[in-house]
Amino acid sequence: MARDEKAKAKMEQVKGKTKEASARAVGNESKSGEGRAERAKGDLRQAKEKAKDAFRK
């Protein structure tokens, strides 16, 4: 389960970063904001998983 969550976090980060970069290239601020939000969601998910790993040790 933890691997699935870590993979999902990485995918959200990559997807958000890609969306943000492509939106900036065409000047779409709305999509750029969505990309930043998606990347932040992935960052939070990754932090949660790292915290869970720290408590398991």
**pLDDT tens, position by position, 3-27:** 898 999 999 999 999 999 999 999 9
Its pTM stands at 0.82
Confidence of residue 56 (pLDDT cuts 50, 70, 90): confident
User: Phi/psi of residue 28, each to 5°?
Assistant: -95, 100
Are residues 23 and 35 in contact, defined by beta-carbon separation less than 8 angstroms?
yes
With tokens 């930043």, the residue in question is: 36
Question: What pLDDT digit, counting tens, does each position of 27-40 carry?
Answer: 999 999 999 999 99
Backbone angles phi, psi at 10, to 5 degrees: -65, -40
